């Protein structure tokens, strides 16, 4: 073959091969980068967004994780409290995050309830990757001490004999405590009037003062008043009795199948590498097994719990179905 012809053939082969090589590189590079990111993550400060103000169980959970991760992962972890709009603002921010170093402590309200009580929410479940469950926070069913009932069975009979005469304080519409109350009313068949408040603190104050007869309150918010005899605990919303209140029955002992514990879990924006998700999942499980961490969580009424991403995802989907049905049946709306 003449030299000119050989050069032409070589140029033609190169012209065909180079674009193909570039295409292969373009396909492989993101995967390689993602694996590298997972291997070295975190390589800059990480932000954990919390949909509640400072103080309380969710903020405490996030700060425990931030502190322990800072020690083990050699990077700075900060907690960014973003309350407002029932968590919708914070969820939207994290859904739109692309820095690879922003996480959110999501909960039953933001994932399983808000899509039903708001006409529109600025995010979808597909915008997030479930990493792990962190904790379940049961609540106490408390009444004013002057209410003439000693237990749940007596209370149900008392309430049924007085339909619409008892009032149930709720800290905020659509909250896990609101749903716990509506689930109780539906399952027991009692008619109690909901009285919404702007937060749990004023709701508890009115129950303490006898202005309202009863409410569901997070263990951390009501345990001191119960121990002091200022509130009477008739039941707990967890599936079984709590170690901190062994004499208070689970509501399921009277209403079989009842359970309504709030949960908090860690989520990352969609597209986060699997290696990062796996690393965080393992770290949370390790942290929740530490004796000092468990002691701190039990002190605020939170039960430390972890799960695989797959288990956590299935739990969220089940709660979306469960609470969606209740919200529709009860006609709850935040709009």
Whether the CB-CB separation of 90 and 267 falls below 8 Å is answered with no
Q: Tell me: do 54 and 123 sit in the same domain.
A: yes
What's the confidence (pLDDT) of residue 299?
A: 87
| CATH number, position 92 | 3.40.190.150
User: 39 in a domain, yes or no?
Assistant: no
Note the helical H segments in the chain.
3-40, 57-73, 88-95, 108, 114-117, 152-160, 176-188, 200-208, 219-227, 274-288, 291-299, 309-330
What's the confidence (pLDDT) of residue 39?
A: 55
Q: End of a domain among 212, 236, 253?
A: 253
User: 335 in a domain, yes or no?
Assistant: no
Q: What is the mean pLDDT of the chain?
A: 88
Q: Tell me: do 243 and 320 sit in the same domain.
A: no
Token code pair at residue 47? 């932000």
Among the listed residues 320, 163, 159, 169, the one whose alpha carbon sits nearest the alpha carbon of residue 255: 159
Q: End of a domain among 253, 273, 307?
A: 253
- When pLDDT is averaged across residues 116-141 and rounded to a whole number, the result is 94
Q: End of a domain among 233, 253, 273?
A: 253
Q: Tell me: do 197 and 268 sit in the same domain.
A: no
Q: Tell me: do 308 and 281 sit in the same domain.
A: yes
Pairing label, strands 46-50, 102-107: parallel
Band of the pLDDT at 16, cuts 50, 70, 90?
very low
Q: Tell me: do 151 and 229 sit in the same domain.
A: yes
Among the listed residues 277, 276, 268, 263, the one whose alpha carbon sits nearest the alpha carbon of residue 305: 263
Q: Tell me: do 71 and 108 sit in the same domain.
A: yes
Q: Tell me: do 143 and 280 sit in the same domain.
A: no
232 three-class SS: strand
Cα distance between residue 106 and residue 109, in whole Å: 8
Bigger pLDDT: 291 vs 34:
291
Whether the CB-CB separation of 303 and 238 falls below 8 Å is answered with yes
Band of the pLDDT at 243, cuts 50, 70, 90?
confident
Of 32-46, 58-72, 164-178, the poorest mean pLDDT is in 32-46
User: 219 in a domain, yes or no?
Assistant: yes
| pTM of the entire predicted model | 0.82
User: 171 in a domain, yes or no?
Assistant: yes
What residues pair up with 215 in beta bridges, in sequence order? 142, 169
Whether the CB-CB separation of 109 and 86 falls below 8 Å is answered with yes
What residues pair up with 216 in beta bridges, in sequence order? 141
| CATH number, position 211 | 3.40.190.10
- Per the structure, the complete domain to which residue 10 belongs is given by 1-33
User: 165 in a domain, yes or no?
Assistant: yes
Residue 255: other Cβ atoms inside 10 A: 18
What's the confidence (pLDDT) of residue 11?
A: 40
Q: What is the DSSP letter of 125?
A: G
What's the confidence (pLDDT) of residue 3?
A: 42
Instruction: State pLDDT tens for residues 280-308.
Output: 999 999 999 999 999 999 888 899 999 99
Instruction: State pLDDT tens for residues 187-207.
Output: 999 999 999 998 888 999 999
Q: For the chain, give the percent of residues with pLDDT over 90.
A: 74
User: 179 in a domain, yes or no?
Assistant: yes
What's the confidence (pLDDT) of residue 252?
A: 96
Give the burial string for 63-91 (b: 16+ CB within 10 Å, else e).
Answer: bbbbebbeeeeeeebebebbeebbbbebb
Q: Tell me: do 25 and 50 sit in the same domain.
A: no
Q: Tell me: do 249 and 147 sit in the same domain.
A: yes
Whether the CB-CB separation of 186 and 173 falls below 8 Å is answered with no
Q: Tell me: do 249 and 146 sit in the same domain.
A: yes
Residue 10 has pLDDT above 90, yes or no: no
How many domains does the structure of the chain reveal?
Answer: 3
User: 144 in a domain, yes or no?
Assistant: yes
Residue 48 has pLDDT above 50, yes or no: yes
Cα distance between residue 245 and residue 237, in whole Å: 12
- When pLDDT is averaged across residues 328-334 and rounded to a whole number, the result is 88
What's the confidence (pLDDT) of residue 33?
A: 42
Q: Tell me: do 121 and 268 sit in the same domain.
A: yes
- When pLDDT is averaged across residues 156-163 and rounded to a whole number, the result is 97
What's the confidence (pLDDT) of residue 301?
A: 86
Residue 38: other Cβ atoms inside 10 A: 17
User: 38 in a domain, yes or no?
Assistant: no
Band of the pLDDT at 172, cuts 50, 70, 90?
confident
Whether the CB-CB separation of 181 and 216 falls below 8 Å is answered with yes
Q: Tell me: do 124 and 177 sit in the same domain.
A: no
């Amino acid at each position: 073959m003449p030299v000119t012809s050989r050069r032409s053939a070589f140029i033609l082969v190169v012209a065909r091969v180079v674009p193909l090589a570039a295409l292969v590189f373009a396909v492989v590079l993101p995967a390689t980068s993602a694996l590298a990111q997972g291997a070295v993550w975190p390589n800059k400060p990480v932000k954990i967004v919390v949909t509640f103000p400072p103080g309380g169980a969710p903020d405490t959970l996030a700060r425990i994780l931030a502190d322990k991760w800072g020690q083990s992962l050699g990077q700075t972890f900060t907690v960014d409290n973003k309350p407002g709009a029932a968590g919708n603002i914070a969820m939207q921010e994290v859904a739109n995050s692309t820095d690879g170093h922003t996480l959110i402590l999501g909960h039953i309200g933001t994932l399983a309830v808000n899509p039903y009580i708001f006409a529109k929410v600025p995010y979808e479940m597909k915008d997030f990757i479930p990493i792990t469950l962190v904790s379940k926070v049961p609540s106490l069913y408390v009444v004013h001490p002057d209410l003439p009932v000693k237990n749940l069975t007596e209370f149900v009979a008392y309430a049924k004999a007085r339909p619409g005469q008892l009032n149930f304080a709720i800290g905020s519409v659509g909250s896990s405590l609101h749903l716990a109350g509506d689930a109780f009313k539906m399952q027991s068949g009692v008619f109690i009037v909901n009285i919404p408040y702007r937060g749990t603190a004023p709701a508890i104050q009115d129950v303490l003062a006898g202005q309202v007869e009863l409410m569901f309150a997070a263990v951390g918010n009501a345990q001191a008043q119960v121990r002091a005899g200022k509130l009477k605990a008739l039941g707990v919303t967890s599936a079984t009795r709590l170690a901190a209140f062994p004499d208070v029955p689970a509501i399921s002992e009277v209403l079989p199948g009842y359970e309504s514990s709030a949960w908090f879990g860690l989520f990352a924006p969609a597209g986060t590498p699997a290696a990062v998700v796996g690393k965080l999942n393992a770290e949370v499980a390790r942290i929740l097994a530490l004796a000092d961490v468990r002691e701190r969580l039990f002190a605020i009424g939170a039960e430390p719990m972890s799960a695989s991403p797959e288990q956590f995802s299935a739990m969220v989907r089940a709660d979306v179905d469960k609470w969606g049905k209740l919200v529709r049946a009860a006609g709850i709306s935040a709009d």
